[in-house]
Structure 1
Amino acid sequence: MRHTSKLFLLSSAALVMALFFAGAPNAATPEAKPAEENVTFEPAKVGSFAGAFLAARTADVDHDYDTAIPLYRKALEFDPSNLEIRERLMIALLLDGQFEEGLAEAEALKEDDAVERITTIVRGLDAIRDGRFADAKEMVAYKGPNDLDRLTQTLIGAWADVGAGKGKRALETVSKMKGPDWFKVFTDYHMGAMAIQMGDTSAARKHLTAAITNEEAVATAPDTFMRAVMALARLEAAAGNKQKALDAISVGDGMISNYAPLKALRESIEAGEKPEQQITSAAEGASAVLFSVGAALNRQGAEDMVSLYLQVSHALDPDSADTLILLGGIAEKLEQPERAISYYQQVPEDSPMRRISELQLGLALAGTDKVNDAREHLKALIESDPSDLRSYLAYGSVLSDAKDYEAMAANYDKAVEAIGPVADPGDWTIFFQRGIAYERLKKWEQAEPNFRKALELNPEQPQVLNYLGYSWVDMNRNLDEGLDMIRRAVELRPDDGYVVDSLGWAYYRLGRFEEAVAELERAVQLRAGDATINDHLGDAYWRVGRKLEAVYQWNRALISEGEDVNREHIKEKIAEGLPPLDPTATTADKSPSAPAAPAPAPAPADKKS
């Protein structure tokens, strides 16, 4: 299947999700309903504990905190001593960004072992915010076995020491902390930031240099890595070492290209300015601990935990642009575009990340069905800076979703003009999306050179290998080369159901039906519930004589997600099966081609893959 997915920020496995919803009252937890089917409950009219609790949990699972919070409070009116309901209320308040209200509940639950991790961090950070550093240090002291908790709470405690004027003790505490190798980027960055607060330039330089030369740092925690790069660059600029500052920035550029804040910092330093450090207080340092951990954990399925860390971090440092943008991204993944827009709008006007927030805001507008507003917003951003390629990618994504391929092609034509005669490796995405636009317009002679250019810039890019290889096989052209490209894409992304589907469908188009079945069965396992893949597997089953299974897969396709399948044709296949093969047809023409899903442009992330 020709498919690309939008880029999202790096994240990691969900480690402590049970922390959030430990134990339920004696009632079954309902499954989440689709948003459009949710019932709005009026808490004042709910007449029982069970009704209030079940309605609250349904809203909570849907991340509808405006509904869940008053319903949890209503449930507490019926059962004021119910700890589990109070725990859920506290977490919902924190996830909704209501830190003060969540803090009040954390104080009430401070003796509750079930939520000790949360109450400890919330209360400890509040103490740092209030300047009660000794209290904070005592609160967050950790002696348990969990690596993540030990890292988080030890760093917060060290920042409490910095706030109390005990910086040497803070550095000693962090340097003696034992843990796995992935600790190092976090400890090096925070020790460097602490040393800056202490005025110890030599120690700060040592620790920050260690952070940005750590080979695993970008993979482990790219956001913390970039914070370390910028902290070192600012440190050197403040010391009058302009070239060393620019050298630090070059290290960051070499690892993560087109990172907007780094570009803005370079311009500032080249102009002779000495930008202020991002962390200027113990409270901001403690906030940065939760940002560091939350950003590194930001992965599909871990949204609640990441949001909790980021919301508490935001409470201590409300102007942190990267925290706001991450919160906006999570809201978008949870299909809450209005909430995402509110975060993007809070990014300070003078922040170097303001343009990123404006780009994401444009995409979020499209998610609220304000497509025309989104188009006008993004076109204005292109006009304000035609050299910013992320603007074309954002606008192209909206046009792709709207299936306006003429405008999409024209947009990427302008982007290629902005690139000029010499393209950078990171520009592959522009040519790839331009190729998709022309392929959708059935202008293959204009599409193919763009796919080839994308591969010239990034020879091992699996999306491009998959798309071009699939297209060739589908058109009965360059069959061997096309199949090799798809196989290579599968090698690079063996767990991507869309790419594996492409290989299975290529075998099908070549009449190699047994091989098609093997790959398509794997694709269905990797990407359950995709209508196109189920449809493809049904066709392959039919051709190898497994007709009952074919009908089952076609029926699955009818009830599965996917806009780009011909449901009427599937119904015809269920009723009549597939026609006999034409023995006179060329190999790749033995079966009709299934429609391919259009490929949305990647979102304008700061990191190009």
Structure 2
Amino acid sequence: MTRPNLAWIAAFLAALSLPAGAQDRPEPRPDAETTDTAAADTAAAPSQPAPLTFGLAGPFLAARMATVANDFQAAARFFVQAVAHDPDDRFLQDSALVALVSAGEIDRAVALATRIGSEGEPTELSHLIQRANLVHSGDWAGLLADVGTPSDAEAQADLLAGMLRGWGLLGAGKASEALAEFERLSKIGGVAPMVNYHLALARALVGDYEGAEALLADDMTGAHILGFTARAQILAQLERRDEAVAMIEAVPGVEAEPQLLALRDRIKAGQPVAFDVVKTPADGIAQVFLTFASALLSSPDPEPLSLIHARLAAWLSPDTAEARLMVAQILQERQQFDLAEPEYDALRRMGQMRPAAELSRIDTLSRAGRTDEAGKAALSLTAAYPDLPQAWIALGDLLRQQEKFAQAVPAYDKALVLLDDAPADARWFPLYARGIALERSDQFDRAEADFLAAIEIRPDQASLLNYLGYSWIDRNENLDQALEMIQKAVQLSPDDGYILDSLAWAYYRLGRYDEAVAPMERAILTMSQDPLVNDHLGDIYWKVGRQREAEIQWQRALSLDPTETDDVDPDRIRAKLERGLDAVLAEEAAAPVDAPAPAPQAAANN
């Protein structure tokens, strides 16, 4: 969404802050039942440390550890236990509410917030949850009584309350007052685009499509996915279908927004199109929470409260795909995949799978080592959008990263067929990635053609130059051109340890051992934990007569527990330590081993 002036957020956050860190909180108090006798016990017996598995200390410390790890479910469980031991502690109450809402346990959070409010002055967070519950239960009179009628100054300090009041008035059937409230809020400095978006939704909900469209036509108000969707639906109500189609087709990156494209197709075909971005005032308030979540998430220092607002938005309006998507993406970013997956599943069931979000999800799952889930997501994406080249590239990348090179090739084939008429710059990466998959599956002629085609598009792509140059060197082909390519790659990326390793190894394979020393020593400075680089440096040291240093590097390589994925043969290193490199090379020359050469280490990345 268009980012608003964030001055009001600072004021809002000053009042509604998350619980401070554990170091800012007093030590946990003794259990309630021991408080009256604590002094007597202290006088009667030597001081003993409290066991951490009993009383308040255990759950509190466990909750804090879970919070640091973003394990919201565990944090919720332990903070609730801590609140049971010390039910009047505001820090514990708010911490439990944060964890419960973050974990999606909204009903339990509502129960705790209600109890806090019934026992005295609510905290800011418990008050926010109570307001959301009034909306959820349709108690518009209760909501309006709670938010009151803030003055202009009060509304500026608490914009959220003013926006809740606007939608609350609409829920109570007071449409004219609701629109007037939004118009009043729109005059607050710096927040007009945000408020006008909600004013447009409210106008559309009461049938004022002309007024709504005029507001959304302003890019500051409507230039985001929900705004484009709402405006297109409104233009359809006004029988201005051609304008709706033209507007959608002009949206930047619309080819990756299938929901917008499907809406365009329905409008173009003359099919009925309803205005359903919001269907009820409760949906409108869900959009308020989503607006705040977006603003908090896009602030220079993203606030954890963004997840709380997104969760409340999804709770109030489960069919609002953008709310579920934001929840899923925030949870994914915090490595809480088990909580994120149900949200993604809900989006798929709603027919709201978003390719850009799915591509990000696949990449994140892969980086987190959850390859089975990443693979299922990639296959689902290609099934849902078989004409989306990025989906096939993602599948190919995943298979390639799992070293299933032969299986990756058809995925890249499909992507490149779909990109046949695309600009050249869209083709270089799948050409490069397919080249790697082909080279690693012993199809070098095809791989070489792909690398050369990619280099023609991106002649200054360092990792691409390095890969083909190294491959040629290793095959004893085009040696002068290969060395020039690797030298150019080093100029383009002088601190890349993988490319420095390739340059040194090229010199080594060409018998220029003295020239190989400096780049390999530079490579080891950035890649000291890489077994292959240590092994290479050992070989180079041996060839320049530094045999003791060579043995140290080989021993170092062995100490790093190399595996097949490191392209290092531990038995070969042991042989070099026992008999020396020259003897091992002579043995291999006499009885050559039919094994693929190590691949260049500059793999393709998105």
Bin the TM-score by the shorter chain. 0.5 to 0.7
Partner of 1:465: 461
Unaligned runs of 5+ in 1: 1-9, 29-44, 218-224, 491-498, 525-529, 581-591, 603-609
AA of the residue aligned to 2:293: G
Return the alpha-carbon distance in structure 1 between the equivalents of residues 451 and 193 of structure 2.
37
Partner of 2:103: 96
AA of the residue aligned to 1:82: D
Matches within 5 A, 1:90-129: 90-109=97-116, 118-129=125-136
Partner of 1:3: none
Partner of 2:269: 271
Contact 1:465 1:486 in 2 (8 A): no
Question: Is the deviation greater in 271-280 or in 356-365?
Answer: 356-365
2:413 is aligned with 1:396: no
AA of the residue aligned to 1:168: L
Return the alpha-carbon distance in structure 2 between the equivalents of residues 269 and 60 of structure 1.
47
Unaligned runs of 5+ in 2: 29-51, 474-480, 508-514, 583-596
In structure 2, the residue corresponding to 1:291 is in which secondary structure? Answer: helix
Partner of 2:144: 134
Return the alpha-carbon distance in structure 1 between the equivalents of residues 243 and 280 of structure 2.
25
Of the candidates 158, 176, 195, which is equivalent to residue 187 of structure 2? 176
* 1:176 CA displacement: 1.1
* 1:534 CA displacement: 12
Post-superposition CA distance 1:473-530 (Å, at most 9, x none) = 545646666666676689xxxxxxxx85567667766869889988997x79xxxxx9
Shift in CA distance, 258/533, structure 1 to aligned 2, threshold 3 Å: farther
* 1:93 CA displacement: 0.7
Matches within 5 A, 1:489-568: 531-532=529-530, 558=560, 564=566
AA of the residue aligned to 1:264: A
AA of the residue aligned to 1:250: E
Matches within 5 A, 1:34-113: 46-109=53-116
In structure 2, the residue corresponding to 1:346 is in which secondary structure? Answer: helix
Post-superposition CA distance 1:299-350 (Å, at most 9, x none) = 8995844322221111111122233233333444444444333222223645
Return the alpha-carbon distance in structure 2 between the equivalents of residues 367 and 140 of structure 1.
48
Shift in CA distance, 242/559, structure 1 to aligned 2, threshold 3 Å: farther
In structure 1, the residue corresponding to 2:255 is in which secondary structure? Answer: coil
Post-superposition CA distance 1:248-302 (Å, at most 9, x none) = 11122x3453212112212221221214321122221221233234346558995
Return the alpha-carbon distance in structure 1 between the equivalents of residues 347 and 332 of structure 2.
16
Partner of 1:39: none
Shift in CA distance, 233/513, structure 1 to aligned 2, threshold 3 Å: farther
Partner of 1:208: 216
Partner of 1:261: 259
Shift in CA distance, 103/375, structure 1 to aligned 2, threshold 3 Å: closer
Partner of 1:234: 233
Shift in CA distance, 70/488, structure 1 to aligned 2, threshold 3 Å: same
* 1:124 CA displacement: 3.0
Return the alpha-carbon distance in structure 1 between the equivalents of residues 434 and 323 of structure 2.
32
Contact 1:19 1:114 in 2 (8 A): no
Return the alpha-carbon distance in structure 2 between the equivalents of residues 112 and 531 of structure 1.
58
AA of the residue aligned to 1:287: A
Contact 1:107 1:119 in 2 (8 A): yes
Shift in CA distance, 199/438, structure 1 to aligned 2, threshold 3 Å: same
Contact 1:314 1:324 in 2 (8 A): yes
Return the alpha-carbon distance in structure 2 between the equivalents of residues 190 and 485 of structure 1.
52
Shift in CA distance, 293/384, structure 1 to aligned 2, threshold 3 Å: closer
In structure 1, the residue corresponding to 2:248 is in which secondary structure? Answer: helix
Higher RCO (Cα < 8 Å, 6 or more apart): 1
Contact 1:340 1:364 in 2 (8 A): no
TM-score (ref. length: structure 1): 0.67
Matches within 5 A, 1:305-344: 305-344=305-344
Question: Is the deviation greater in 466-475 or in 292-301?
Answer: 292-301
Return the alpha-carbon distance in structure 1 between the equivalents of residues 283 and 448 of structure 2.
50
AA of the residue aligned to 1:178: G
* 1:448 CA displacement: 5.2
Of the candidates 591, 595, 601, which is equivalent to residue 596 of structure 1? 601
2:434 is aligned with 1:434: yes
Return the alpha-carbon distance in structure 1 between the equivalents of residues 524 and 153 of structure 2.
49
Post-superposition CA distance 1:359-389 (Å, at most 9, x none) = 8998899899996787578557646653233
Return the alpha-carbon distance in structure 1 between the equivalents of residues 519 and 369 of structure 2.
42
In structure 1, the residue corresponding to 2:347 is in which secondary structure? Answer: coil
In structure 2, the residue corresponding to 1:279 is in which secondary structure? Answer: coil
Identity %: 19
Rg bigger for which structure? 2
Return the alpha-carbon distance in structure 2 between the equivalents of residues 381 and 91 of structure 1.
33
Aligned length: 525
Post-superposition CA distance 1:557-581 (Å, at most 9, x none) = 9599x97585969999xx99x999x
Partner of 2:249: 250
Shift in CA distance, 77/136, structure 1 to aligned 2, threshold 3 Å: closer
Return the alpha-carbon distance in structure 1 between the equivalents of residues 350 and 432 of structure 2.
33
* 1:178 CA displacement: 1.6
Return the alpha-carbon distance in structure 2 between the equivalents of residues 26 and 565 of structure 1.
54
Contact 1:209 1:232 in 2 (8 A): yes
Shift in CA distance, 474/201, structure 1 to aligned 2, threshold 3 Å: same
Return the alpha-carbon distance in structure 1 between the equivalents of residues 462 and 226 of structure 2.
35
Return the alpha-carbon distance in structure 1 between the equivalents of residues 537 and 359 of structure 2.
41
In structure 2, the residue corresponding to 1:434 is in which secondary structure? Answer: helix
Partner of 1:196: 204
Shift in CA distance, 519/402, structure 1 to aligned 2, threshold 3 Å: closer
Return the alpha-carbon distance in structure 2 between the equivalents of residues 483 and 167 of structure 1.
68
AA of the residue aligned to 1:101: R
Partner of 1:5: none
Question: Is the deviation greater in 314-323 or in 239-248?
Answer: 314-323
Shift in CA distance, 419/594, structure 1 to aligned 2, threshold 3 Å: closer
Contact 1:124 1:140 in 2 (8 A): no
Return the alpha-carbon distance in structure 2 between the equivalents of residues 77 and 196 of structure 1.
47
Contact 1:505 1:516 in 2 (8 A): yes
Return the alpha-carbon distance in structure 2 between the equivalents of residues 517 and 296 of structure 1.
48
Contact 1:56 1:67 in 2 (8 A): yes
Return the alpha-carbon distance in structure 1 between the equivalents of residues 466 and 120 of structure 2.
55
Contact 1:189 1:207 in 2 (8 A): yes
In structure 2, the residue corresponding to 1:124 is in which secondary structure? Answer: helix
